A and B are shown apart, each in its own frame.
Chain A
Amino acid sequence: MTVKLLIESSKKGNTGIHLPLKSNFPKTDLHQTFPNEWVRETIGLPNVSEPEVVRHFTNLASLNYGVDSGFYPLGSCTMKYNPKINEKLANLEGFTKTHPLQPDFTVQGNLYLMMHFEQLLAEITGMDAFTLLPAAGAHGELTGMMIVKAYFQNKGEAEKRTKILIPESAHGTNPASAASVGFEIVEVKSTNCGGVDVAHLKEVMNDQVAAIMLTNPNTAGVFETDILEVAEIMHQNGSLLYYDGANLNALLGQVRPGDMGFDIVHLNLHKTFSTPHGGGGPGSAPVGVKEYLREYLPVPVIRERNHQITSETDQFNSIGMIRLAGSNFQVIVKAYLYILTMGSDGLKKASSIAVLNANYIKEKLSPFIPAGVPCICMHECVLSAKDFAPYGVQAKDISKRLIDYGFHPPTNYFPLIIPEALMIEPTETESKETMDHFIDAMKKIVQEAKENPSLLLEAPHYTPISRPDEVKAAKDLNVTY
């Protein structure tokens, strides 16, 4: 059961604002000012009163499950707690009521915050320069790939360097981003821990390789132990290393991408730095580079001279603009405040506990559902439900049954290299008691799977809707009222 659409409650004469508008301005006659056929009388929006709107969206919210509702161990998404003070302060009018085209001297507060944030990120990652422009992880990757392209163009090697290496365990966004800007993808085999198969890397290496895109810890949640060797192989070949920051939460203050040999990184502020996921965005994904790539960063760039901070577009060799003026500034404010709250000790503690929590869950659960890889995991662990096939139970059924127990399911079927994957990322913001409840629920579900699999196959049982028909959705497309 869903909530009735507002258009179905629409009534002529209802409105959520004061109508007619109070106005002291003379009316412009639309028919005299514009061609008649432009003037519009109907649109197709509802007419509803304020209390109806409030109830509608409050009811919709009640159908949602967020981090504030309960445990949300969605692997590779880092669903950590979103601090409320950061929400409040990011909504200060001093920030929200500024316009991106205000002259620089009137937004020195914003520019200071951004400049300082860039410096903090450089310290945390071991990189030299940052841009805060990219709007999301995929946009960060796209920006990074554009920088790779511009770098080789400037070296006169663009014609030759056409390939990007991507481990087969990588998230699909990596190959999609590299292909978006015209690179060819070469898949590198993965080890049984999801890492780069160094022997295969050497095999596919040649002078056409522009860069490799890596996530570390990799998508199986395991640290890339051969990272220094990989970096050496790449750099000796004149190629670059790109760091997908999806899993940086495991490493904050423990080891820095810049020290591992990465040339370009993107960070997901909505994962590692606690800004809310918003139901699927907006995020923000600053991109950091080593000094020799600074000149390729997109514009505008932030500079300081004579105690004035400016946002400037004159940067020779820049890849250019990648979005309208501004950044996802409000997200940046929240991440900045998070870092100021945590400090060095806090960030180190966050990564330590994130890793401890994941290992705790893995050790407790692996006797019941085997781990997908035979290695120490970092901030997330992958279990494989392949042994449940005889009961007709798949990973997704376990996930759906978890909803009945009050938990958000883990990530399913990723990474692709692990069959029937259940990827669990608890983050550091969960208590031992919450994790113990989750572990108990998983054990019960394992028991149910063997004794009464239909409990899983028909789950979830207590939600307003269950197992919507995705085939029908795709065949009989209905995407608007």
Chain B
Amino acid sequence: MSEVKKGYIYTETDEWVKVDGNEVLIGITDYAQHHLGDIVFVEITAEGKTIKKGDVLTTIESVKSANDVFSPVSGKVLAMNTKLEEDSGLINKDPYNEGWIARIQLANPEELSTLMQDEDYHQYRKE
């Protein structure tokens, strides 16, 4: 059973969002990292870009798949987690903390209301 972090909000495509004022931290869920298996590469080139909700934020590669991570919100990408360059396995080890992917400055805070609360996501991915 994969972990769902309390207090975070979620997308149907298995990204999580941690809200911190006008900024959000984004990553992929425990369910998603489990599904992907050992992650071997994360592209971290989006820093400084302005991105729309639903745009591809990055691509995560495991041995046998490559999956797009879609931005759950619109805004400016303030930072990408450069530690992933060295050790993409951080996403497997600690998807909700050390394995964060991007920090984004919200352009449109209302978008957050369209995302799932932790309980709903838990139900959504209950197997």
Contacts and interface: CB of A to CB of B under 8 A. Distances in A.
Say if the two chains contact directly (CB < 8 Å): yes
Interface of A: 470-471, 474-475
Contacts of B40: 471, 474-475
Interface of B: 38, 40-41, 61, 63-64, 88-89
Contacts of B89: 475
Nearest to A474: B40
13 contacts: A470-B63, A470-B64, A471-B38, A471-B40, A471-B63, A474-B40, A474-B41, A474-B61, A474-B63, A475-B40, A475-B41, A475-B88, A475-B89
Nearest to B63: A470
A471 B64 CA distance: 9
Nearest to A471: B38
Contacts of A474: 40-41, 61, 63
A474 B62 CA distance: 9
Contacts of A470: 63-64
Majority SS of interface residues in chain B? loop
A134 B37 CA distance: 37
A471 B41 CA distance: 10
Given A470-B63, A474-B63, 11 more contacts: A470-B64, A471-B38, A471-B40, A471-B63, A474-B40, A474-B41, A474-B61, A475-B40, A475-B41, A475-B88, A475-B89
A375 to B, nearest CB: 28
Contacts of B41: 474-475
A21 B25 CA distance: 67
Contacts of B88: 475
Nearest to B40: A474
B7 to A, nearest CB: 32
A239 B88 CA distance: 45
Contacts of B64: 470
A162 B89 CA distance: 39
B63 to A, nearest CB: 4
B114 to A, nearest CB: 25
A475 B91 CA distance: 14
B82 to A, nearest CB: 17
Nearest to B41: A474
A355 to B, nearest CB: 31
Contacts of A475: 40-41, 88-89
A179 B64 CA distance: 21
Contacts of A471: 38, 40, 63
A302 B64 CA distance: 43
Contacts of B61: 474
A474 B88 CA distance: 11
Nearest to B38: A471
B39 to A, nearest CB: 9
B33 to A, nearest CB: 14
A433 B40 CA distance: 44
B38 to A, nearest CB: 4
Contacts of B38: 471
Nearest to A476: B40
A474 B61 CA distance: 10
The list of the 9 closest CB pairs from A to B, nearest first, reads A474-B40, A471-B38, A470-B63, A475-B40, A474-B63, A471-B63, A471-B40, A474-B41, A474-B61
A470 B64 CA distance: 9
B101 to A, nearest CB: 18
A474 B89 CA distance: 12
A280 B22 CA distance: 53
A475 B40 CA distance: 5
A471 B36 CA distance: 12
A390 to B, nearest CB: 15
A475 B63 CA distance: 9
A462 to B, nearest CB: 25
A473 to B, nearest CB: 8
By CB atoms of chain A within 10 A, which of B38, B61, B64 has the most? B38
A474 to B, nearest CB: 4
A235 to B, nearest CB: 35
B55 to A, nearest CB: 17
A471 B40 CA distance: 7
Contacts of B63: 470-471, 474
A475 B88 CA distance: 9
A403 B118 CA distance: 46
A280 B15 CA distance: 38
A237 B88 CA distance: 48
- Residue with the greatest number of chain A CB neighbours at <10 A, chosen from B41, B63, B64, B88: B63
A182 to B, nearest CB: 19
A30 to B, nearest CB: 43
Nearest to A413: B64
B29 to A, nearest CB: 21
A474 B36 CA distance: 14
A471 B39 CA distance: 8
A470 B65 CA distance: 12
A470 B40 CA distance: 10
A474 B63 CA distance: 7
